Amino acid sequence: MPAPPNCSRHSAVRLPRPGRRAACEPRDVTDLQSPQKNRTLRATVAFVVSICLALVAVNAWLIWKAHAADYRQATIATTNLTRAVSQQTNAMFSEVGHVLDSLGYELERTDITPAVLERLQPVLVNQVAAIDQIHGLFVYDAAGRWIAHSEPVVDPKANNSDRAYFIHHRDDISKQWRIGAPIVSRSTQAWIIPVSRRIDDADGRFAGVVLATIRLDHMLRLMGEFDIGRHGAIALIQADGTILARLPFAQDDVGKRIVGSPLYAMLRADRTGMSEARSPVDGVRRLVSFQHLSDHPLIVTVAPAEDELLQDWKTSSIIQSTWILSLCVLIGVAGSRIVALVRMRWRTELSLQQALGELEQANAQLAELARNDGLTGLSNRRHFDQQFGLAFRQAQRHDRPLALVMIDVDFFKRYNDLYGHPEGDRCLQRVAAAVQSAVRRPGDLVARYGGEEIVVLLPETDDAGAAIVAEAIRTAVLALAIPHEGNPVGRVSISAGVAARLGGDHAPDGSGLLERADRGLYAAKAAGRNTVAMLQPQGIREEADAPSDPS
């Protein structure tokens, strides 16, 4: 029987015990807590935590942005609501004031006799019926007695000489309307806002008062048509701080003065404005928008409660934050798989950002190409056509001069044949730069019209001025001294045609002007090139001839 294999050439044979490995068997060195795996685990945990923190930060930023947007919308809506209430209230009081002026004027220009008062009675009744906000109309004599009114029955001994409005008009010669603090009507026992005006006799002495009353509940109904929330408030306040009407209504608030409160200080500081303030009436903190009426010493305030102002934002923020928290928990549970997905997402986003950057750069280049010529850097034909159309229509509208200079490089085909197209391109670039340097005004436009043709648009320029510019261009190009053996003058030169729209020209479009400039260019070529030619109604006039000495 063969001997069992030795673990070592010089060791004795030793059989392993049951359940134990032999001493020479390779040890399993796999360690679940290896440093590499620990680093990976820590990196994964750190990454997951970072993602969760990032989500929390993004959520906070989004909530802040939403708050800013919602708050801005709320301020705009509140300002618009304030303006609407102010305009409606101003119109209401102005209509009442006009009625008082009309009645006062009629009473002042005639003797107040029993017959006049008898005829006035139905007029007052009809006015009350016709104008919804007027509760009653009354006329008092100099002693405060009721001499005319819209009420069906009154106490014949009634006297209003003790009312604040009566005393005011008796002591003040002004006939300006007076809007008083709310009082209880002596005829109907209802809360009313008195609007009154002084009446004078023929000698300018105090003759009485004409009064219109507005029911306080009418004002409250007007305010109630606007939705300002459950705890919002709308108020009509006199310039001296007296509350005329306020919604929500409380009888104790009627006639209350808010002088000395921060709110009143804000109302006096400007004609219109907005601020957060605590109400001196009920202590609720609100966003207060206010506006002084344009025609009356009254102030309208519209104040939605801060707690209600951004209720939708609060609800959406809670929901959004709940989702973010749930997502963070999900990310924590998902572990390394989520990390891998996030890393993939980051790579995708990076690629997208790079693609967007490249797209923006390409769009910018396209926009530049759409306007400029790629070789010369001048405006291209399309941009010229747009600007020429605008300039021509403006010149037509205001009957102003407008000129064109059409330029062509002389014997340019020969230049390309002699020196090659790359040199031809460089030649065009230098010619374009020379043309641009000779055109100095900001409103002028130099464009490559096609091939070796360049066009110059000169607003507010007549034919003589355009000819001067064209000659300056011709001289500048010639001064470049670019050799050209195919040109009789021995250097690169240009020919130019000039055409101008003069005052009194009512052509329907600019095609005729372009055609004349082009014909002028051909005339310059026919005259021997290196020349400026102008097309006049009677023909072609040569403005400059080629110099005899090419140097």
Q: CA quadruple 545, 549, 550, 551: dihedral positive or negative? A: negative
Using alpha carbons, select from 195, 293, 191 the residue that is nearest to residue 237: 293
DSSP code for 251: G
Do 431 and 476 contact (CB within 8 A), yes or no?
no
Sole residue written with tokens 């195919």: 486
| Tokens describing residue 139 | 């006329």
What is d(CA 57, CA 63) in angstroms, rounded to the nearest whole number?
10
What is d(CA 521, CA 523) in angstroms, rounded to the nearest whole number?
5
Q: CA quadruple 474, 475, 480, 481: dihedral positive or negative? A: positive
What is d(CA 389, CA 427) in angstroms, rounded to the nearest whole number?
30
Instruction: Please state, as a whole number, how many other Cβ atoms lie within 10 Å of the Cβ of residue 224.
Output: 14
Contacts (Cβ under 8 Å, ≥6 apart) of 42: none
Cis peptide before 248 (omega within 30 of 0): yes
- Phi first, then psi, for residue 314 (nearest 5°) are -65, -45
Do 513 and 396 contact (CB within 8 A), yes or no?
no
Alpha helices in 10-163 (DSSP H): 35-108, 114-130
Contacts of 154-162 with CB under 8 Å at 24 or more apart are 154/187, 158/186, 158/187, 160/186, 160/209, 160/211
Rg of the chain taking only CA atoms, in angstroms: 46
423 is catalytic: no
Using alpha carbons, select from 443, 456, 451, 450 the residue that is nearest to residue 382: 450
Contacts (Cβ under 8 Å, ≥6 apart) of 415: 409, 423, 424, 427, 484, 486, 487, 492
What is d(CA 406, CA 446) in angstroms, rounded to the nearest whole number?
10
Sole residue written with tokens 């993939």: 344
Q: Which of 452, 485, 515, 542 is catalytic?
A: 452
Strand pairing partners for 441? none
Catalytic residues: 452
